[in-house]
Copies of this chain bind each other. A is one copy, B any other.
Amino acid sequence: MKNKILLAIADGVGDRPVPELNMLTPLSYAKTPTLDLLAKNGSCGIMDLHGAGVPVGTDLGHMILFGYKLSDYPGRGPIEAFGEGISLKAGDVAFRCNFSTVDDNMNVIDRRAGRIREGTQELAKAVSGMSIDGVEVLLKEATEHRAVLVLRGNGLSAAVSDTDPKVEGKPVKPCVPKEETREADYTARLLNKILPEIHHVLKNHPLNIRRQKEGKAPANFLLTRGAGKMPKLEKTMERLHVSGACVAAESTVLGVARLAGLTPLTSPTFTGNIDTDIAGKASMAAKALKDYDFVVLHMKATDLFGHDNNPAGKVRAIERFDQMVEIAMRQIADTIEDNVIVALAADHSTPCERREHSGDPVPVVISGINIRKDRVEAFDEVSCAEGCLCRIKGNDFFNILMDYLEATPKEGN
């Protein structure tokens, strides 16, 4: 019987003892019958995504879970571009942008152009396709006032500074090279030439003229930051010849999934918060397992409550995660005839007391009829450390999963 894998990721689920929870972690406090059953029926361990004690971001954490390494990390701009569905080519330089408002002296009046929500697609279209000195300019609107700018051409560098002054009332910062290379120098000069041209186009766009008449801040400038160059990254799913999909709400996770060659699957009912449609997500993942061998099912809310230092909320989110996995497993049992291995993981810890990602390891489980069973009976940070996977790295975890799909290449003969 062929193996398939459902990998359920509880974003930022790892934590530390919390006074409000009788000095238990949210994960050990929460009622998680499904996760515990999986721990009981499989191999457990703890995982450092990159290295022990090294905190990672959600983007890098998921890159590692999907088969990449720290050295593959392209920077924030390209990750955002992938999140917005832009197919980057090797050599492209991508920037995170804000539609913003500047006055005639290039002072920043509003960093978010009155938190513009409508019409940004139209504005982006008016800019996208411009070119300067043979370099192509692509612009794609993102959530609310955000956008992604891509420069496509030869000899570009991502070693250039941000133009966003970060505070209002100050002038736009000129872009300067961050290293002494011809490419960085060229890219900075190029950006300093193209941004005024974009300003010219945006300023005269009918939508902005209308906004001004209505007393709204015109979205007449692009503030750039987080330049990143797209490296030549092979899609891990293609490299290993695995068919994969990722069910998620958050654009960062969906973007990294796309980068790795996992088909992104989402729906407007998936909110990225605790009110997300767990039945819809579970059902979509279970269905995807008919067509794909490796399906990721992601929940964001666990991380958010860590950032908010809300242990009770994190407990609730964990219990919803447990239910989501339970629903998915029930549907899988009804519809899939192959052996579905269920794995549990997280992209990093977000301890409530820290309100930020930490380097504490996360618990992991790999569970299925053909998986070695250790004596661990609960899915939590301490119990799993006693399991037969011991302490592994994110890269190990990915290779182990891929090996159950018989996809990790054999070395030697």
Contact = CB atoms under 8 A, between A and B. Distances in A.
Contact of A53 (B56, B374, B403): B403
Contacts of A381: 372, 388
Contact of A373 (B356, B382, B396, B410): B382
Given A371-B16, A385-B387, A390-B390, A357 B399 contact: no
A396 B51 contact: yes
A61 B387 CA distance: 25
Contacts of A356: 406, 410
B396 A385 contact: no
A306 to B, nearest CB: 14
Given A52-B396, A59-B413, A388 B385 contact: yes
Interface in A201-258: 226
A145 interface: no
A315 to B, nearest CB: 17
Q: How many monomers of this chain does the complex have?
A: 2
Interface of A is mostly: loop
A351 B368 CA distance: 15
B73 A411 contact: yes
A156 interface: no
Contacts of A268: none
Contacts of A226: 413
Contacts of A46: 388, 390
Interface residues of A, number: 66
A360 B402 CA distance: 11
A126 interface: no
A54 B399 contact: yes
A233 to B, nearest CB: 14
Contacts of A57: 410-413
Interface string A49-72: 011111111111101000000100
Contacts of A406: 354, 356
A266 B407 CA distance: 36
A351 B403 CA distance: 12
A60 B401 contact: no
Nearest to A53: B399
A8 B115 CA distance: 53
Contacts of A411: 50, 54-57, 60, 70, 73
